[in-house]
Structure 1
Amino acid sequence: MLSAAALTLGLGVSAAASAETTLIVGTWQPPGNPMNSVVWPTWAGWVEEATEGRVKVKIEQDVGHPKTYFQLVEDGVINAGWSYHGYGPGRFKLPVAVELPGLNVSAEAASVALWKVQQKYFADAGEYEGLTLLATLTHGPGQIHSIDPVESLADLKGKKVRIGGGVQTELAERMDVTGVAAPGSKVYEMMQQGVIDGVFMPITEQKSLRLHEVAPNLTVLPGGMYLGSFSMFIDPYFLEDLDPKDAEAILSVSGEKLSALAGRAWDQADVEGLEAARAAGVTVKELGPNDPMTLEFGELIKGMDDAWVESVADRDVDARAALAELRQIAREYEAQKQE
């Protein structure tokens, strides 16, 4: 027969176990993508440590099309997730500031700068209404992965190129390429079948998406053509249902800290992607700042800053000041990293 003390202890253990909460994170992209191999698992560990084990994180793969993740979290289907701002055209106009060509910094520097500018300039615009923002991030510089060599931008004219939205859409129009919209997960198959002639993506995808098998040419512009911007977010109602100290703990390991981690992971993935490309025999053409194609690209992008400022005129923010500060923060961060 159980003693009263033993029964009390048993009930205490049962209550502690039932107090544990599982936080369901939805993710996409292949397992080798830095978000899945580094960022979400690391954050999961931070959350469990910060909440002393009261919140356990479970990561679920491919719970829907990448563009649906904003809605999936808003609807409570999953508790947290991430997505590309280009998948929400019209809704996420402000983060596109970090995607504009000419920033010439690492993904880590860009991610931190976007987080800070989001908090200072963009938060009141309500683009993340229905979500609580955990982090902002970018992938590394977008480059040209192609079946045929690219000697000048004219070589891309009329070619079918997969684009992911955001600044890529504007670049595709200016380059006079035929933009093909498709999720990143479909690019390998589309290249293999000849549906597209190339893709604008960061170098990491030479390894993560195995583009080295289907894109024998990689053209690398200094600083890249653009950055792709993403966000990580959580259901505010999920946070409200937690003990306030646990909700606060989760947010304490997010924000700038998580943004920096994510950007750093993408930077490292680019290093590994370039190594994979070279090991596979991909022709890597690294352009210098004064190469004709680099100068040609510089002419091509003139006016894009003004176009972005005009596109966010309905957001009631000081867009020019925000863009200038974002670039200042990013470049100073990058300089400090290199000291």
Structure 2
Amino acid sequence: MTKFTHFLAATAVGLGLGTAAMAQEKTLTISTWLPPSHSINVDMFEGLIDMMEEATDGQVTAEIKSGLAPPPAQMDLVMDGAADISIIFHGYQPGRFVGTKLIELPGYEGNAEAASVAYWRVHEAMLAELDEHRGVKLIGLSTHGPGQIHSNQSVTTLADLDGLKTRLGGGVAGDVGAAVGLIGINVPAPKVYETLDSGAADAVAMNVGERLGFKLTEVAENLYVMPGGLYRGSFAVLMSQETFDSLSDEQKAALDAEVFGEPFSRLMGAAWDKSDADAYAATEAAEGNTITEASAADQEAFATVAADVRAKVLAEIADAGIDAQAAYDMVVSEMAKESGGS
């Protein structure tokens, strides 16, 4: 009986430990407002889940859910605890974010991965003091690749943009659009296909990857490319602070050290670059689609526009209390490092 009693005691201890370990496991809810096949879901969120599972030995995982709230409401959704994690596009909430416009400026040299890494670093060094994401835990910052013009009519010169009814996402895209004469139409990204298909808009300003993400090859057969882009777009991935606080100390430490911040921001940028490359290839293969690169004269003309927009935005950031020129210079420097420059 002694051996049997010892066996029962050991079994009970083992079950107790197993129950304790299971109690620490967390399955988080990630809210998405993008189509299921979009790169944000397939590459970024799935990548985030993989990173979290690896860092915590499978104790922290997540599932992606659609339709919990419209795009502009995602930050409030996380703050209210209705989702644990979500992604926001800063331009959807005019006036709420100022420092985030820094990464959206035209003229940066480098891909989305380099820009996203630089973005996180300058945020940590300078922009965080604005506390623009207060109420939630910021776990990643990113910008998509260069924003271009996708239209359902021929656009071959910068002058063709004047008077073009164009869906603009907000932020610096709106500043640039006004400067080149676009007539801005404000609709969320998930509505771009029907907006173009119905004729409510002639064009949309987006990164090239969205030709796949939102099937623009079907409704915007013409792609006008300004080398370096007309603008970029600023995104943040947010986590409920309450959810983060509910994790064990070991889980929080692992996620902060191995996942959140620069590692995840880098993954996001690389995913944007992949989507752009895939979309360029798909556009070249799609029947009836054309790609027109801006002429040297148009590139020179746009450089003047870009300089004016940059001065305007840096003044806004300076008014918020940040050394805007130093922040801009840091983005340029960090992007050069990530791109192999000095």
- Name the TM tier (shorter chain): over 0.9
* Partner residue of 1:225 out of 230, 242, 245: 230
In structure 2, the residue matched to 1:286 is 293
1:252-294 Cα offsets, whole Å, 9 max, x none, are: 2121111111101100110100111111131111235x2x222
Q: Name which of 123, 128, 135 aligns with 2:133.
A: 128
Q: What is the match of residue 207 of structure 1?
A: 212
1:89–1:166 Cα contact (<8 Å) kept: yes
Residue 286 of structure 1 aligns with an amino acid whose one-letter code is: E
Q: Equivalent residue for 2:107?
A: 102
> Is 2:10 the partner of 1:40?
no
Name whichever of 310-319 and 103-112 sits farther off: 310-319
Deviation at 1:300, TM superposition (A): 2.3
Q: Which residue of 2 aligns with 1:272?
A: 278
Fraction of identical pairs, as percent: 35
Q: TM-score, normalised by structure 2?
A: 0.93
CA distance in 2, matches of 1:211, 1:303: 30
Following TM superposition, by how much is the alpha carbon of 1:174 offset from its aligned partner in structure 2, in angstroms?
1.1
Give the distance between the partners of 2:86 and 2:26, measured in 1 at CA: 17
Check conservation: 1:151, 1:293, Cα contact below 8 A.
no
1:93 to 1:197, Cα distance in 2 relative to 1, 3 A: same
Identify the match of residue 186 of structure 1 among 174, 184, 191: 191
Q: What is the rounded CA distance, in whole Å, between the counterparts of 1:265 and 1:225 in structure 2?
A: 20
Structure 1 stretches (4+) deviating beyond 4 angstroms?
Answer: none
Structure 2 unaligned segments of length 5 or more: list them.
Answer: none
Aligned to 1:12: 17
For residue 335 of structure 1, give the secondary structure of its aligned residue in structure 2.
coil
Contact 1:104/1:224 (<8 A) preserved: no
Q: For residue 249 of structure 1, report the CA deviation from its aligned partner.
A: 1.3
The answer (yes or no) to whether the contact 2:224–2:294 under 8 Å persists in 1 is yes
Which stretch shows the higher mean deviation, 173-182 or 22-31? 22-31
Amino acid at match of 2:263: K
The size of the alignment, in residue pairs, is 335
Give the TM-score of the pair, scaled to structure 1.
Answer: 0.94
Please list, as runs of the form range in 1=range in 2, the aligned pairs for 1:229-248 lying within 5 A after superposition: 229-248=234-253
What per-residue deviation string (whole Å, max 9, x for no partner) do you get for residues 93-124 of structure 1?
Answer: 11211111111310001101110000000111
8-17 or 59-68: bigger deviation: 8-17
Query: In structure 2, how many angstroms separate the alpha carbons of the residues matched to 1:50 and 1:332?
Result: 27
SS at match of 2:72: helix
Q: Which amino acid aligns with 2:315?
A: E
CA displacement at 1:302 relative to structure 2: 2.9
Q: How does 1:54-65 map to 2 (within 5 A)?
A: 54-65=59-70
Displacement, 1:70? 0.9
CA displacement 1:204-230 (0-9 Å, x = unmatched): 111111100111111111111111110
- In structure 1, runs of 5+ residues without a counterpart are none
